[in-house]
Structures are given as structure tokens and as C-alpha cells.
Structure 1
Amino acid sequence: MKLEELLASSEHLPSIPKVIALLLNELSRDEPDLRKITQMINTDPVLTTRLLRLANSAQFQLANKISSVSEALALLGLRQVHSLATAAAVAGAFKGIQGMDMNAFWRYSLNVARLSRSLAGLAKQNQAAAFTAGLIHATGELVMRLALSAEMTAMDATVPPLGLKRASAERKLLGYSFAQVGAGFSREWQFPQPIVDALEHQDAPFDNDVYEPLAGVLHLAVWRSRAREDRLEEQRLIYYFPDRVALALKLDRDMVFGEDPLEWSSQADVDVML
């Protein structure tokens, strides 16, 4: 399937069931806690994507694009959020995705989001946009697994879904990867251009005509998180460290690795959501 055909599809991706349930419960209170609502949405890549899609839609005609959940909530209000959450509950009564451990996917996505935010702070980039890009960066993989299940399942035998070499394996087989799929949808939904560029060039930040620092931040966070999924030993981490990307952001290896201890999502984080 060509990339254009895939982007024309309308696959319904699953949100995290417990997040939707807790969110609807909080929204039903007489005085919903906006901080809790923001935190809940910020754990769910699919719900975050839906919220940003609505906030950046043509109906609002904004001069500046919305790049974070908190900005979207300020624009939309809780009634719109309730509608989105209800739609997610109805359409997404949990739907499994063949070959993808969704617990692992949600944990991994949260890892990338948190690391992206921390690294963006060190690199003096927009931390809210970095967190958003990190959280939604792999939703294209879910779309591909729904639309191209046979191809993706066959690939799993040699390259794990969350492995370091997944993007390059997909490009070799299909001519594009989850990065281009996610960026294609984000462009169509009028997300902020830095986020679109970061998603599209996350695996090769210097391929863009104009280097987007957020793509470099995302590249480092994705590399570090996928290296952890692959259980790379310390010597291999050092050997494969993307020095060129880090140098462009004025970061060194110790700064990138130093974000690990406080940033990794634990299984407890995932258990709370499920």
C-alpha cells in the first residue's frame, strides 16, 4: 500500500480504556479538576492526537497552532473534551492491534514523551511541544498495523515493533515508516509545523531542508527509549550514540544518559492507566 493510500484510510485507534473511564468520571463531577484532566490526557497518545486535531481544525482559524494538551483545553473547554472522551469510549471499547503489546506501547510512548520534555529543557526548546511530539510520535505504527497487518506481522519476526531498527526496516519494505505516516496525518490535521517536521524526520533529523531542533530532541528520546526496549548493553549504547544529533543540540552523552533515572516510566505507571 502506498503512503497516500494509507493516509486516506480512517482507522479507529484505541485509547487507554482506564484513562477514558477515569476521564469521564472526572468530567462528570460538579467541579472537574483541570490539572487531573490534563494529566490523564497526557498519558494517552491517541486521545492527545484527537484533541490537538480538533484544536487545530479550520473551525477555530487560529493564527498560532496549538501544540500541547493544556493549550487545547484552554481553547476547547471541557464540553468538547467530554464529547471526545465519550466518542473514544463508544468507538474504542478496547480494540486490540495484532502483534502489538499495547501495555508496552503506552509505557514506551510515555517514556519518549518524558525524555523529550527533559531533553528539550536542556536544549532550550519548547518542552510542551516536545512532550506532545514524544507522546504521539509512534501512532503511525498503530495505523500501519491495522491497515498492513500481514506485512507488519511478517516484519516482527526479524525486527520488534519497538526496536531500534524498526523505522529503517519499514522504509526498506514499504518506502516509508511510521514516522512519515504520523507526520502525514499531523500535516493533514494542521498540527504546528515544528511537530509535523519532528515526527517526519525523527529517525533522520538532518534529512529535512531546514533542520528542526525538535526533530533532534525527538530522535534522541526515541533512540534512547528503543535502545532500552532492545536492552542494549552499556558499551553498545556508547558505540551507537547519535553524537551528531546531540552535538547540534549542544548536548553530550552524559546529559542524555543522565535523564534516565527519574524519567523512565515504570510498570506501576502503566498499571494505574489500565
Structure 2
Amino acid sequence: MTQATQPRSTTISSIPPARRESLERLFARMEQVAALPGIAQRVLQLTDSEHVRADELREAIQNDPILVARILRRLNSSYYALSTKVTDLRTAISLLGFREIRNLAMTVCVSRMFETPGHHGTYRREALWEHSVAVGAAARLVARVCGRGVPEEAYIAGLLHDLGIILIDQSLRRHFCQVVSSVSPTVTTCEAENRILSFDHALLGGFVASKWNLAEPVIDAIAFHHTSGEYTGPHHDLVYVVAVANYLCSRAGWTSLGVHNVQSPPDSVYAGLGLDQISLAIIWDELEPTLERAESLATG
């Protein structure tokens, strides 16, 4: 994938102190935009617990009627293709389980960051959201086919992989427009960001995810989705899955900035996942219908 021009730590937790300090200052500037909704924090805490009860999760979510309505609408979309319509959270949790309802709640909460329209050049904020959901769905597919990692965790990491882009878009708009104007099929997003901002969206996204106290594998997958070949930490399965999913979605036309400028991960990443030509063909054949279903999840 794209190689950032700035040195990268082997995991997000090992960012050098000076670099971490600059990211802390940037996070403070964009704190309102970068705040994870309280309901999302609560859902994440509950679903990470081994002792959570279904009623606890249901009670946490039902305090936000809009969230409930949007979860149920997405649950009844073509993405899940359920045989009967689900009309209440209790049934939803019993049908899909904690992790899947967690994913739906996160999808709805994160979608709120994209509700205000925004565009510049080839970039549309709505298309970035569609790309994010697509990569989540594709990451789930890749994880399932190669048998590496937890598909539900792969979805969350894929959904949030471009978190840094929406934060830059909303907090550093003038610089973001310069980035969009600079990218091309031969100039990657990370290259443009590092030249204009001195950091890239992958590093920023991983840092913010760490501030949200997301799981370390998810944090590293966000931070290294453009430098997967350089990653030497313990969570390589998820890092590799998201990197492959991001490339495949961009290649299929589901791009983040309206330009396909994502390079394929190195051969070592495919080998690390045990992906050969046969398994890649299976993924590619299933990708289009998967992304079509994901569109209903993004727009639900």
C-alpha cells in the first residue's frame, strides 16, 4: 500500500514522544469533532465485557430513540436479508448477538459525522462514508474467506479505517482541500497529506481511535492500513485484512476521495493471510454483491 513519507512506529502505542505531543495538540483542537458519542462508548464497554447481559445492552441503546430507529432500519435492510422484519431491540440482539448490534450502533453513531454535506473537486463526504462502510463489509468478507481474525472486529476496523480523513475534512478544511486537489492516480492521499500537513490520515485515525479506547488490533489496523507491509506488531491478521479490503474496494470504484490511488499491499501481506489466487478469486466474485448490500447499510 501507500508508503507514508514520515517514519512510522511498529505499533500505534509506540509513537515517539515528540510526535505524540503534536498529535495531542491536534486532537485538542478538533476535540468536539473527534468526540466519540457517549452512547457508543457505553456500547463498546458493554460488548467488550465477558459478563454483559442482553438487557444491559438493550437498555443502553434504547435511551436514544433515534439510534434505535436507525439500527432497526439498517437491520431490516437488504444487507442482512432477514426472512422476517425485526421491530424491537430484544429480538435484534437475540438474532444477531452482541457484536453485530455493537457494529450497527457504531455504524449509526459514526454516520452522524458525515451528515453535513461537503465536497471539493473529486471528493464527496457522502462517498467517503459509503467507502468506509464498504471497506467494513469487505474486511468482514476477507476475514471470513481467509479464516483470520474475527469478522465482526474486521467490520469495525474497516468502518473506521479512514476516520482520519473525515476529521481532517471537518477540522482542517483549507488544508484538506489542498490535499484533495493534490491527489491523483499517481499521487497517493498519504503522500499529499504528509507534504501538506506533515502527518497522514492513517496515523491521525489510529491516534484518535486510541483516545476512544478502542481495541488495540482495531487501532493498529486503522493506523497501518496504508503501510501494512511495515507492520511488525502482534495484530497483523487484522492489519492485513483491512489493508486488502481497502485496496479491493478502491479498485472496485468505492474510493475515499474520488480517485483510485491505493496501491496493492505487498505480497507478504497476502501470504500472511494465506490468500492465494483461488481464495482471492472467491473474494473478488463475492465483493460486488457484498458492496451492493453494504450500500443499503450506508444509506439506511
TM over 0.5: yes
Cα distance between partner residues in 1 of 2:125 and 2:250: 15
Q: Kindly state the Cα deviation for residue 246 of structure 1 after the two structures are TM-superposed.
A: 0.6
Cα distance between partner residues in 2 of 1:205 and 1:79: 38
Cα distance between partner residues in 2 of 1:268 and 1:123: 20
Instruction: Show the counterpart of 1:139.
Output: 163
Instruction: Show the counterpart of 1:39.
Output: none
Please tell me whether the aligned partners of residues 226 and 243 of structure 2 are also in contact (alpha carbons under 8 angstroms). yes
Cα distance between partner residues in 1 of 2:284 and 2:66: 37
Identity %: 17
Q: Kindly state the Cα deviation for residue 270 of structure 1 after the two structures are TM-superposed.
A: 5.3
Instruction: Show the counterpart of 2:57.
Output: 74
**Paired residue secondary structure (1:96):** coil
**Paired residue secondary structure (2:275):** coil
For 1:220, which of 226, 244, 247 is the aligned residue? 244
For 1:97, which of 95, 108, 118 is the aligned residue? 118
In structure 2, the CA distance between the partners of 1:94 and 1:216, relative to structure 1 (3 Å rule), is closer
Instruction: Show the counterpart of 1:10.
Output: 31
Q: Kindly state the Cα deviation for residue 202 of structure 1 after the two structures are TM-superposed.
A: 1.3
Please tell me whether the aligned partners of residues 157 and 242 of structure 2 are also in contact (alpha carbons under 8 angstroms). yes
TM-score if structure 2 supplies the norm length? 0.61
Q: Kindly state the Cα deviation for residue 148 of structure 1 after the two structures are TM-superposed.
A: 1.4
Gaps of 5+ in 1: 14-45
Q: Kindly state the Cα deviation for residue 61 of structure 1 after the two structures are TM-superposed.
A: 11
Please tell me whether the aligned partners of residues 164 and 230 of structure 1 are also in contact (alpha carbons under 8 angstroms). no
User: Whose relative contact order is higher, 1 or 2, with alpha carbons under 8 Å and at least 6 apart?
Assistant: 2
Cα distance between partner residues in 1 of 2:202 and 2:31: 17
Cα distance between partner residues in 2 of 1:270 and 1:169: 32
| Coordinate RMSD, CA, aligned | 4.2
Aligned amino acid, residue 153 of structure 2: A
Instruction: Show the counterpart of 1:112.
Output: 135
Across the two proteins, how many residue pairs are aligned to each other? 227
Please tell me whether the aligned partners of residues 198 and 218 of structure 1 are also in contact (alpha carbons under 8 angstroms). yes
Cα distance between partner residues in 2 of 1:186 and 1:259: 28
Instruction: Show the counterpart of 1:165.
Output: 188
For 1:187, which of 192, 196, 210 is the aligned residue? 210
Aligned amino acid, residue 129 of structure 2: W
Gaps of 5+ in 2: 1-21, 70-107
Instruction: Show the counterpart of 1:156.
Output: 180
> Structure 1 residue runs of 4+, over 6 Å off?
85-88
Please tell me whether the aligned partners of residues 169 and 176 of structure 2 are also in contact (alpha carbons under 8 angstroms). yes
TM-score if structure 1 supplies the norm length? 0.66
Please tell me whether the aligned partners of residues 117 and 131 of structure 1 are also in contact (alpha carbons under 8 angstroms). yes
